[in-house]
């Protein structure tokens, strides 16, 4: 098979949550363990950091990987989902796994993968771990797909565990309240292995403390240790922070190109994690400065309040749950615009009504369907949106919706008085 044929087999033969949702989910690690045993357990051949959380784990994972790259370590990075190219999920020093490596892995193990009836995610984890072993990475940053306790990645023995935050998402699988979800996330905490909790949340903190005590694992709440003070100077390229540790200056004038204000929380988590990792690894201040400043170029991170066009300004953000939309709204409230254009598609297993109720009522909406089976039918989306007080038009694709929004925003730009600044807001739902 060539690369495209291999992808078609992977996407269509193996159950893929990003495409079909619940049917691809397995509530145990048995098959993952079996396939990794078959591959002679590659996950034990490299050091790792394990990252879970409802929101922010992608930004955290990419940032840590970027710092390790700047420090001279050969760094693996496993994340999900991908936005455009399957190979985004598996990187070494920012470079995606080569097409031939994907083809070779499937050709070599295809019969076994079919016999075991692996899900797409289980297969991807196995491929990533096998590739990291083959390339002899010094460290791999491993992002949980969903939950933690039963996630296929939860077979590693990491140097550090990180849990960014807890909010309601994937409630069919993880539970219908923050405490239940916290129990699933806490499942990544390993024996005698430090864990960083990004946010101190009343509904979940005791779950993490109890689990850490049972595992004899040191626990650190990042927001109690690290304080990030943002400079008020506006830039569409980066935010600048002074970082305090236990009220003492730790890093001054740190530039961070991930622009959403919610990134301030992620930054505290990242710095706290790096502070602990500076023990077993040689990470200097300059590596942190350069790693965070270059996180996008080093790792290919996309979709986090990402500027994709400057005139008119277009922003892409993959927020896809109530907590994520709340953060987006905070960012929008600080953004000047004359007319807000909003491209919207969602998948059918999210809290759609809850999301729609939070979206700004004064925007012009461009409704479309994500090009995957889980994408919510655009007619249903538009009807639900209208019932929630939103107004807009239906488009046949995300591409068409974005093109129309961009064109209309440009017309607004040309007609508006000079003092106004336009902001075009684009959001595509993230699909796992």
Instruction: Give the global pTM.
Output: 0.84
What is the predicted pLDDT for the residue at 430?
Answer: 39
Write the CA distances from 390 to 28, 353, 422, integer angstroms.
Answer: 41, 12, 20
333 with 370, same domain: the answer is: yes
376 with 286, same domain: the answer is: no
Query: Which tokens hold the place of 127?
Result: 């491929």
- Structural domain harbouring 43: 3-299
Q: Pick from 152, 153, 186, 147: which is nearest to 168 by CA? A: 147
Mean pLDDT by 10 residues, the chain (432 residues): 92 58 62 97 98 91 98 97 91 98 97 90 96 98 91 96 76 58 92 96 91 97 96 79 96 90 90 96 98 96 82 82 77 80 86 87 92 85 93 94 94 65 47 38
Angle between helices 263-277 and 57-70 (to 10 degrees): 40
Q: Please say whether the beta carbons of 126 and 151 come within 8 A.
A: no
Between CA 262 and CA 292 the distance in angstroms is 16
79 with 185, same domain: the answer is: yes
407 with 292, same domain: the answer is: no
What is the predicted pLDDT for the residue at 26?
Answer: 55
Query: Which tokens hold the place of 149?
Result: 């306790």
242 with 337, same domain: the answer is: no
253 with 326, same domain: the answer is: no
In sequence order, the β-bridge partners of residue 227 are: 244
What is the predicted pLDDT for the residue at 424?
Answer: 52
219 with 346, same domain: the answer is: no
52 with 124, same domain: the answer is: yes
What is the predicted pLDDT for the residue at 98?
Answer: 98
Q: State how many domains the chain has.
A: 2
263 with 354, same domain: the answer is: no
Measured in Å, how far apart are the chain's first and last C-alpha atoms?
Answer: 26
Domain boundary among 266, 299, 332: 299
109 with 94, same domain: the answer is: yes
What is the predicted pLDDT for the residue at 112?
Answer: 94
């Amino acid at each position: 098979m060539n690369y495209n044929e291999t992808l078609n087999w992977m996407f269509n033969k193996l159950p893929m949550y990003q495409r079909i949702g619940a049917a691809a989910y397995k509530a145990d690690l048995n098959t993952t363990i079996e396939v990794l045993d078959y591959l002679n357990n590659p996950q034990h051949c490299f050091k790792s950091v394990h990252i879970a959380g409802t929101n922010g784990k992608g930004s955290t994972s990419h940032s840590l990987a970027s710092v390790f790259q700047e420090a001279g370590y050969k760094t693996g990075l496993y994340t999900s989902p991908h936005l455009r190219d399957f190979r985004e999920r598996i990187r070494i020093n920012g470079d995606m796994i080569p097409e031939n490596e994907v083809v070779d892995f499937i050709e070599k193990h295809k019969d076994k993968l079919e016999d075991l009836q692996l899900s797409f995610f289980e297969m991807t984890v196995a491929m990533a771990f096998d590739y990291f072993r083959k390339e002899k990475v010094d460290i791999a940053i491993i992002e949980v797909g969903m939950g933690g306790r039963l996630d296929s990645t939860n077979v590693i023995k990491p140097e550090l565990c990180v849990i960014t935050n807890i909010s309601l998402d994937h409630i069919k699988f993880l539970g219908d309240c923050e405490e239940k979800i916290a129990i699933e996330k806490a499942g990544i905490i390993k024996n005698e292995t430090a864990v960083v909790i990004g946010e101190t949340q009343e509904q979940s903190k005791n779950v993490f403390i109890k689990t850490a005590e049972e595992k004899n694992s040191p626990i650190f709440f990042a927001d109690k240790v690290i304080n990030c003070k943002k400079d008020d100077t506006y830039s569409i390229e980066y935010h600048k922070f002074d970082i305090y540790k236990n009220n003492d200056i730790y890093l001054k004038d740190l530039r961070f190109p991930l622009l959403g204000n919610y990134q301030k929380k992620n930054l505290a988590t990242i710095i706290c994690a790096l502070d602990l990792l500076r023990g077993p690894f040689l990470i200097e201040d300059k590596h942190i400065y350069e790693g965070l400043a270059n996180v996008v170029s080093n790792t290919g991170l996309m979709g986090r309040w990402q500027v994709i066009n400057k005139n008119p300004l277009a922003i892409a953000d993959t927020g896809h749950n109530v907590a994520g939309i709340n953060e987006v709204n905070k960012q929008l409230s600080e953004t000047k615009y004359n007319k807000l254009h909003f491209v919207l598609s969602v998948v059918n297993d999210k809290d759609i009504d809850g999301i729609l109720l939070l979206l700004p009522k004064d925007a012009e909406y461009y409704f479309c369907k994500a090009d995957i089976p889980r994408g919510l039918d655009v007619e249903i989306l538009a009807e639900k949106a209208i019932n929630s007080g939103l107004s807009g038009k239906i488009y046949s694709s995300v591409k068409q919706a974005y093109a129309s929004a961009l064109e209309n925003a440009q017309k607004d730009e040309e007609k508006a008085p000079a003092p106004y600044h336009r902001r075009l807001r684009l959001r595509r739902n993230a699909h796992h």
